[in-house]
Amino acid sequence: MKGFVGENIKHYRIQRGLSQKEAALLAGITPSYWGYLERSQKNPSINLIEKVADVLGIDAYLLFIGSPDNKLPAGLLQLLYTIKNMEPKHLEFITTVLKAYVQIHK
């Protein structure tokens, strides 16, 4: 698990357009420590994970989900996790809207 957390940190940093130095300064850590995180050479605390996720503009759990490079776009993944926790009536509405959208754009 540790390896892909570092990969995810790097992926989302690049996606946000930040250098390691910029991201590290925003998180309140040194650029070299940020590099250790990206290379999975350090195990960050939960507090640091939250700070890193904040800097990257994502929910912290996304850092623990496989490698985003080989999966769905982060925004879509975030939406899917949000949808997963909705009430059935809301899921039915979203399904109806998505089906209509797909039909229109075939």
Q: Please indicate, yes or no, whether residues 58 and 104 belong to a single structural domain of this protein.
A: no
pLDDT tens digits, residue range 23-42?
999 999 999 999 999 999 98
Q: Please indicate, yes or no, whether residues 56 and 18 belong to a single structural domain of this protein.
A: yes
What six digits make up the tokens of 56?
């990257």
Give the pLDDT confidence score for residue 22 in this predicted structure.
97
Q: CA geometry: angle at 37 spanning 31 and 39, to 5°?
A: 105
For residue 70, pLDDT over 70 is answered with: no
CATH code at position 48: 1.10.260.40
Q: Please indicate, yes or no, whether residues 45 and 93 belong to a single structural domain of this protein.
A: no
Composition of the chain by helix, strand, coil, percent to 5 = 75, 0, 25
Q: Please indicate, yes or no, whether residues 58 and 88 belong to a single structural domain of this protein.
A: no
Q: Please indicate, yes or no, whether residues 61 and 76 belong to a single structural domain of this protein.
A: no
SS3 per residue for 20-47: HHHHHHHHCCCHHHHHHHHCCCCCCCHH
| Mean pLDDT, the chain, whole residue set | 85
Contact 8, 15 (CB under 8 A): no
Q: Please indicate, yes or no, whether residues 86 and 62 belong to a single structural domain of this protein.
A: no
Q: Please indicate, yes or no, whether residues 66 and 85 belong to a single structural domain of this protein.
A: no
